[in-house]
Structure 1
Amino acid sequence: MTQKIPPIDYEYLEETMLQLLAIPSPVGLTDAVVRYAAGRLEALEISYELTRRGAIRGTLRGREAQPARAIVAHLDTLGGMVRSLKSNGRLEIVPIGHWSSRFAEGSRLTIFTDSGHVRGTCLPLKTSGHAFGGEVDTQPVGWEFVEVRVDLPVADKAGLEQAGINVGDWIAFDPEPEILASGYINSRYLDDKAAVAALLTACKAVRDHKLQLPVDVHPLLTITEEVGSGASAALHGEIAEMLSLDISIAAPGQNTSEHAATICMQDMSGPFDYHLTHKLISLAKENDIAHRRDIFRYYRSDSAAAVEAGNDIRTALIGFGADASHGQERTHRDALVALTQLVIAYMISEPVARRDSHSMGSLEGFTEQLRPQDMVLPTTPLPTPEEFLDAPFSVTPSERL
């Protein structure tokens, strides 16, 4: 009997997302958000394990253990770090992750020191038109052209040192979330806390509605995606399929919408698995889930890290459509609902290939993409090598060589 996708608990999704956003978690400063996510799994009575550094692997048991599937989202975010204490009592910083300093300018932030925390603001080097005139509009964009003004009575390097600020202190920028009655959601770090909330909401639907899973499903929450390593850890040999959940890019030239889930066909690491990706497309169509297909040229996800670490698994990427990724991000409730629905549909669906229970096997049960009857063959015989050489050319024989 085919299981239907139940209604999702959107209030739970939104509450979880806002609580995640309230917890600073730039890469390397993720213990607090890991503890929060673990608590969410415990409340759903989902068992889990942690790696040494804090990646979480949960387990939802299915009728069969294999071929198991992982569904991954990341808890870590972008951020910054103190590079130097400046003679003017301000801080030079470097980014954590890849993002433009233009989105940091004007942002409120917290510096986490060895003994506490200090508030401050990230500002361009030339901040006041009253002091610098038109130069405020012509200064370049780059991390070397911004600094942090700390909210302390300091005016030199010695004052910063006395306040306990050091090179290498982490910096978390305020998320500034805002949810509108129209359904639009604005915040930093929707990448990827909105997707984490969607994954936990899908897990809640499985629990609340006692959905039957054909195979084991492992919710996987990683902590280093923004610096490239992500899902290189916490996988194990039983996992044959891995679905990454992440932000999808709505921008000119892209096919993504803020009102739909996106099924990514390829990113900068290459194409995703043909069969798993087309399975997700079929599930979206069968369940009338708003979705778009897209390709991202300047993008990589947890899936790439997993494959590059040597895992022989099928990978796919789906996401919530959002504008201005790694900046002042915006999505819509529609996209988060669609993403959650697609995750549930995937969790209750059969695996791509039962043969994937084993890492190696015979041709029997192997997947098929192009069949001979589907191929377009030439209607006339190809020329023989002799006929080809005798054919007329617009070049001389010597030029052919």
Structure 2
Amino acid sequence: MTIPFDLEQSIETLEQLVNTPSPSGYTAEVMQKVSGMLKQAGLDVQKTNKGAVLATIKGKDDRRQRLITAHVDTLGAIVKDVKPSGRLKLDKIGGFNWNAAEGEYCTVHTADGRKIRGTVLMHQTTVHVYRDAGTAERSSDNIEVRLDEKTVCAEETRQLGIEVGDFVSFDPRFERSENGFIKSRHLDDKASTALLLELASAIGESGAELPHTLHLYISNNEEIGFGGNASVPGGTVEYVAFDMGAIGDGQSSDEYTVSICVKDSSGPYHYDLTRHLADLCKREGIPHKLDIYPYYGSDASAAIRAGYDVKHALFGPGIESSHALERTHTESLEAAARLLRAYVMSPIVED
């Protein structure tokens, strides 16, 4: 049986997700949305102690199970200090470069629930004042948040309810072009999450019977290295991270195919399971690329490091300019969705 794919639903879900702030450590709202979508698909949902969401679709074989994970936590920042000027010093959440966030509008999420707007800027931004405006190091010592409030000192900023430890989210700026491009911050990994949620809905609506029980694991700590490394159901023998493909010089991945990772910074992924994914693409005529991501780690590799005895693999849509102003194409989303369906309807890889 073929599981249908609804591209428009996937993109609508993606837009909802990227517009919900969720830097690692501040993910309660987005996890609540994800739980609601999975429940709407007819699934029972469990919440782990770390805040991840786990849902299960029973298959014919309940003894040998598979798990697919995607993550909804994103890059962001946290208030490190309230400066004497009233502006905010930041500390990074996740592995991005400050130049990727410079000039972006942002929201400060206070402990009492206020949302205060601002802009991420270099202290030495004004070219009419600072000779080194273009050459000064983009670092936490120079980057700050200019608040959209009338404040000129630390005391006035604190009176707004802002304090050290408040989370800062960056505006996603979601946009879909008529020729199929989708650009936004946080496509890593909300693009894959949207496709996984759409899959859950499609399985429920179509009544498709899976050959093996499938766990859908939406993690909320991947960007800081320990998402998906706990609460893996005991019957799991295959663990697949559904995450972005990295694009750049020396990479084969692009924005129009599904990217299958054979190795990242953690080492090679399971050979037989990776070949199984590639063979499914060949059999189904799914546009795909095999690739190595040199500075990358996934929830699947985190699970291996945690000691889980599973076959692990990684694939997903190609995302241009990761950890910055990201972009993909609907062709890549469709290819990733097709491989997702082929995989969950395929047999477990035998030893």
The TM tier, using the shorter chain, reads: over 0.9
> 1:233: how far off?
1.7
Cα-to-partner distance string for 1:297-348 (whole Å, 9 max, x where unaligned): 1100001111111100000000111110000001001111111111111111
Provide the C-alpha distance between the structure 2 equivalents of 1:238 and 1:144, rounded to a whole number of angstroms.
Answer: 48
Q: Please tell me whether the aligned partners of residues 77 and 169 of structure 2 are also in contact (alpha carbons under 8 angstroms).
A: yes
Distance in 2 between residues matched to 1:144 and 1:248, nearest whole Å: 32
SS of the aligned residue for 1:175 comes to: coil
1:171 and 1:142 map into 2 onto residues whose CA distance is 16
Residue 105 of structure 1 aligns to a residue whose secondary structure is coil
**Which residue of 112, 121, 124 maps to 1:126?**
124
TM alignment of 1:310-349, pairs within 5 A? 310-349=307-346
Distance 1:215 1:319 in 2: 21
Q: Which amino acid aligns with 1:183?
A: G
Greater C-alpha Rg: 1
**What is the CA distance between 1:34 and its match in structure 2?**
0.6
Give the AA of the match of 2:118. Answer: G
CA RMSD of aligned residues (A): 1.0
Alignment deviations for residues 348-373 of structure 1 (CA, whole Å, 9 cap, x no partner): 111112xxxxxxxxxxxxx2xxxxxx
* Whole-angstrom CA distance in 1 between matches of 2:296 and 2:54: 24
Q: Find the counterpart in structure 1 of residue 133 from structure 2.
A: 136
Residue in 2 aligned with 1:201? 198
SS in 1 for 2:343: helix
Equivalence for 1:255: 252
Pairwise CA distance, 1:6: 4.1
Q: Give the letter aligned to residue 65 of structure 2.
A: A
What SS does the aligned partner of 2:141 have?
helix
1:153 aligned to 150, 153, 174, which one?
Answer: 150
The alignment partner of 2:234 has SS state of: coil
Deviation for aligned residue 1:234? 2.4
Q: Distance in 2 between matches of 1:240 and 1:9?
A: 29
Name the SS for the 1:232 alignment partner. coil
1:139 maps to amino acid: A
Indicate the residue corresponding to 2:241 in structure 1: 244
TM-score (norm 1): 0.86
SS where residue 196 of structure 2 aligns? helix
Q: Distance in 2 between matches of 1:8 and 1:319?
A: 16
Counterpart-to-counterpart distance in 2, 1:54 and 1:140:
36
Displacement after TM superposition at 1:211 (Å)? 1.6
Deviation at 1:180, TM superposition (A): 0.3
Whether the 8 Å CA contact 1:206–1:344 is kept in 2: the answer is no
Mapped contact 2:83–2:153 kept (Cα < 8 A): yes
2:3–2:208 CA contact under 8 A, matched in 1: no
Structure 2-normalised TM-score?
0.98
Q: Which moved more, 1:294-303 or 1:233-242?
A: 233-242
1:33 to 30, 46, 52: 30
Decide which of 92, 115, 118 is 1:117's aligned counterpart.
115
Whole-angstrom CA distance in 1 between matches of 2:286 and 2:45:
29
Count of residues in Structure 1 that have an aligned counterpart in Structure 2 = 350
Q: Deviations over 1:226-262 (max 9, x none)?
A: 0000111220211010110111111111000100000
**Alignment of 1:89 onto 2:89:** no
Q: Report if the CA contact (8 A) 1:244-1:302 is conserved.
A: yes
Identity %: 37
